[in-house]
Amino acid sequence: MSLLAVQRGFQTRIVEAGEVDAAHDSRFEAGMAVYRNAYRARLISCLRETYNKTWSWIGDDSFDAAAAHHLILNPPTGWTLDDVGVGFPETLKQLFPDDPEVEELAWLEWEMQQVFIAPDSRKMDGAAFAEATADFGDDDWAEMRLAFAPEIRLRPIATAAALIWEALSRSEAPGGDVMLPSQTRLMIWREGLRPCFRQLEPPEAEALDMMLGGATFGSMCEFMQDSGGATAEMAGAMLGRWIGDELIAGLAV
Amino acid sequence: MSHIAPFTGFGLGLRREHHADFLEHDVPVDFVEIISENFMVDGGRPLHTLDKVRERHPVAMHGISMSIGGAQGLNADYLARLKQLADRIEPLWVSDHLCWTGIDGHNSHDLLPLPYTQEALDIVCANIAQAQDVLGRVMLFENPSSYVSFPDADMAEWEFLAAMAARTGCYLLLDVNNIYVSAINHGFDADAFLAGIPVDRVRQIHLAGHTPGDIVIDTHDRAVCEDVWSLYAKACARFGPCATMIERDDDIPPLQDLLDELAIARDIAAAQERVAA
């Protein structure tokens, strides 16, 4: 039998937990069981580690069932074990259609880890920003566009996934409503080496969305004024926070 | 490209639980071994940590995903990422295991056993040649623990390793615990294994704990046992001074416990050196 045939047969018996093969003795079957058990245990353990808070939220049985389901539909293909977690939030979305916080919490966990190992990028600090804008006139401010740190993730959320995360991090039982009063956005980024997240409130959520999409600072200020009477000072304070949080890479050319 | 100078220190694996120890203290080890894949990332804290550790210690890169025995060849993307890391940290050497990890695009993330046949040897040697060519350096390959063997094998594991090293110029990472585990599981003589390994090809030795049972399992979750220490003494006697490290991947104790265990390895190696002198 060719090596390729041996390896295909071996892999099938690990993944699919096939019947005992009469061609082999009990010792061989016992050895195969070690590989079979290790395969399943290793992958589920990886998912438990990657999605630790989601695991805490839905419990052992539900999590392991979802993990097994995910691994059947998405057998690992990447060279890094971490990639076993790719697509797990989508799997959870299908399995928990009435519990949207499960998918949102899993998304938060996955993306926090992706931001953790994202490429290092240069950030613009307050001094650099002040220097770059020192000669700005009113028109320059109105036309200013920002280049953001490439690792930033921003998505709509409908649930208190961020609060659930924080409570679980403190080993506390999450309280309050699972659903938010209205949909908003959740942002993930990195300050130095530390991944961070923040649930944004209107109008910052929309304003950041606009600026990430390439809008000018002037159009963002107009939007804020139209949507709630925010002043230029408030827009400036928001911009200052973005700089302090290390969201800004520079001024867009 | 064709030679790795002997390095005779004692080291430990760099595990996340001990990162702070290595960053904040001068840990008394001669080298550190990393799991290559843990640092084959784009940026962030893992590479920051590794760069800092590298400033203080020589680093050996040890991989688990090359799948050198894969019948369908190697993953070019993987090799490129591995080379990128090796070029960044200039390691003592780059090692992986004599095994395969998956086929047809599937990855089991396990070190699966090879049948020690002539065909497998040809495939492994071709794959090693490709890997060494891409990396621009000769590699080390480790004897794995295994739980099944194949009746149509043409040669013993040590004969396979010796032939592989002779044909490709690669070096060997001798895992003494794996020899012990496989010797029990397959009923071969561990001393015969040591005697079959060419002395001039061994550049590193691994030590680890295992879980006893009807089938002994290489779990790396406990201290090295007496039988493995005894086998290590025999390895020291045969191969002479050689870079030695203790692998611990589960139920990881405080760093000092591993340093204490490493001191045992130092004592055994020193005793064998005195005997040889």
pLDDT > 70: percent of chain A? 97
For residue A47, tell me if it sits in a domain. Answer: no
For residue A83, tell me if it sits in a domain. Answer: no
* pLDDT, average across residues A69-76: 95
- CB contact under 8 Å between B115 and A3, yes or no, is yes
**Model confidence at B156, in pLDDT bands (50, 70, 90)?**
very high
- CB contact under 8 Å between A118 and B42, yes or no, is yes
CA atoms within 13 A on the CB side of A64: 7
pLDDT in tens, A98-153: 999 999 999 999 999 999 999 999 999 999 999 999 999 999 999 999 999 999 99
Q: What is the pLDDT of residue B265?
A: 98
Position A2 pLDDT exceeds 60: yes
What are the structure tokens assigned to A131, written together?
A: 């220097």
**Model confidence at A27, in pLDDT bands (50, 70, 90)?**
confident
- CB contact under 8 Å between B103 and A81, yes or no, is no
DSSP A90: H
For residue A113, tell me if it sits in a domain. Answer: no
**Model confidence at A21, in pLDDT bands (50, 70, 90)?**
low
Q: What is the pLDDT of residue A173?
A: 87
* pLDDT, average across residues B130-141: 98
Q: Measured between CA atoms, how close is A134 to chain B, in angstroms?
A: 32
- CB contact under 8 Å between A39 and B40, yes or no, is no
pLDDT in tens, B261-272: 999 999 999 999
For residue A201, tell me if it sits in a domain. Answer: yes
Average model confidence (pLDDT) for chain B? 97
**Model confidence at A68, in pLDDT bands (50, 70, 90)?**
very high
Interface test with chain B among A13, A34, A116, by most B beta carbons within 10 Å: A34
With H, G, I as helix, E, B as strand and everything else as coil, classify residue A249. strand
- Quickly count: other Cβ atoms within 10 Å of residue A122's Cβ: 9
Nearest residue of chain A to residue B106 (CA atoms): A77
* pLDDT, average across residues B189-197: 98
Q: What is the pLDDT of residue A232?
A: 79
Q: Please say whether the beta carbons of B17 and B24 come within 8 A.
A: no
pLDDT > 90: percent of chain B? 97
Domain around A224? 120-253
Q: Using CB atoms within 10 Å of the CB of residue A67, give its burial: 0 to 12 exposed, 13 to 18 middle, 19+ buried.
A: buried
**Model confidence at A203, in pLDDT bands (50, 70, 90)?**
confident
Q: What is the pLDDT of residue A17?
A: 66
Nearest residue of chain B to residue A113 (CA atoms): B44
A-chain residues near B71 (CB < 8 A): 2-4, 7
Specify the pTM. 0.94
B-chain residues near A46 (CB < 8 A): 109
Q: Looking at the partner chain, which of B43, B65, B185 has a beta carbon nearest the beta carbon of A120? A: B43
**For helices B118-135 and A3-15, angle between their N-to-C axes, nearest 10 degrees:** 90
Look at phi and psi of residue B215 and say left if phi exceeds 0, alpha if psi is from -120 to 50, else beta. beta
Q: Looking at the partner chain, which of B42, B70, B110 has a beta carbon nearest the beta carbon of A39? A: B110
**Model confidence at A18, in pLDDT bands (50, 70, 90)?**
low
Q: Please tell me whether the interface predicted TM-score (ipTM) of this complex is above 0.90.
A: yes
For residue A129, tell me if it sits in a domain. Answer: yes
Q: What is the pLDDT of residue B204?
A: 98
Position B52 pLDDT exceeds 90: yes
- CB contact under 8 Å between B71 and A4, yes or no, is yes
| Domains annotated on chain B, with CATH | 10-276 (3.20.20.150)
Nearest to A2 by CA among B22, B117, B99: B117
The alpha carbon dihedral of A52, A14, A7, B170 has a sign of: positive
Nearest residue of chain B to residue A195 (CA atoms): B44
Nearest residue of chain A to residue B219 (CA atoms): A38
- CB contact under 8 Å between B107 and A14, yes or no, is no
A-chain residues near B46 (CB < 8 A): 117
φ/ψ (deg, to 5) at A149: -60, 135
* Domain tally, chain A: 1
Instruction: Residue A184: give its domain's CATH number.
Output: 3.90.930
Instruction: Tell me how far apart the alpha carbons of residues A30 and A36 are, in angstroms, rounded to a whole number.
Output: 10
Position B114 pLDDT exceeds 90: yes
* pLDDT, average across residues A41-50: 97
Residues 93-152 of B with CB under 8 A from A: 100, 102-110, 112, 114-115, 117, 119-120, 123, 146-150, 152
Beta strand spans in chain A (E): 146-148, 153-159, 179-191, 194-200, 248-251
Q: Measured between CA atoms, how close is B232 to chain A, in angstroms?
A: 26
Position A4 pLDDT exceeds 90: yes
Q: Measured between CA atoms, how close is A85 to chain B, in angstroms?
A: 13
pLDDT in tens, B19-45: 999 999 999 999 999 999 999 999 999
Position A20 pLDDT exceeds 60: no
Q: Measured between CA atoms, how close is B126 to chain A, in angstroms?
A: 14
For residue A79, tell me if it sits in a domain. Answer: no
pLDDT in tens, A73-98: 999 999 999 999 999 999 999 999 99
pLDDT in tens, A221-235: 999 888 877 777 888
